Structure 1
Amino acid sequence: MGRILAIDYGGKRTGIAVTDEMQIIASGLTTVETSKLMPFLKEYITSENVTDLVVGEPTQKDGTPSGIEAEIQKFLKRFVKGFPEIPVHRVDERYTSKMAFQTMIDSGLKKKQRRNKALIDEIAATIILQDFMQYRG
């Protein structure tokens, strides 16, 4: 099989999650500065067998695209140009950051640790990936 990579794209930081080779378990991988996202993906995809990319689709409560969607579209054009063999899937990411924060509370992280926005982004990417796997499966 191969790994499925998911990203929670942000203006400053992008959370990244990945599955195992059997595509059973979704885990947070890391958070990278968005300006360094493409170099990171090139290196990761070169060293790992990535079969699919899942990208969160941010929308407003009324269903209209969020302001960051224009930046995501630019990123997707670059990604598809660089990796035409990897299919890209979009998943509604409404409330994933709130769910990520709640996950941090539920797992007993201290207040100081919960302020770590990079960790929230990584957990949000994991939730996006889990949603994709559940929907697909």
Structure 2
Amino acid sequence: MNGIWDPKKLNVNCSGRDVSGMSQADGFFKIEPVTKEYILSQVGIKGDWNISEIYDGRVKLSIVLMGDSPENELFFAMGEGRLPCVFTIKDKSDGGMLGFSAQGRVWERPNIEKGKEYKDKTWVFLLPDYKGVLTA
């Protein structure tokens, strides 16, 4: 593993359609857990305590697209229709990953901005049933 990430080796697919036009800005792709904790601990008034295990596999997927990406129209229509999307994520870089969700939905839509140049658009999806693994 050489520690160099190659964005060209990242493939994101939404219901059979490759997501194209991803921004080349830093942080254009991010997966973060909705609940970051694996356990929850509580203490009672007498010092008694308990630990609860949390099994929350939901993740938030953020994708930054260039303003003229054709997927902006697709994601806007999905959000307006509250339609799910089957997401597959493959990163073949060193230290890459594989991920899947059958019920991805638009969670946050971007602002609509017009100016001299197209503005990047950040789409945020909720993947409630995400399963992913890191690869070497």
Q: What is the TM-score of this pair, normalised by structure 2?
A: 0.29
- The structure richer in strand per residue is 2
Larger Rg computed on CA atoms: 2
User: Normalised by the size of structure 1, how large is the TM-score?
Assistant: 0.29
Q: More helix by proportion, 1 or 2? A: 1
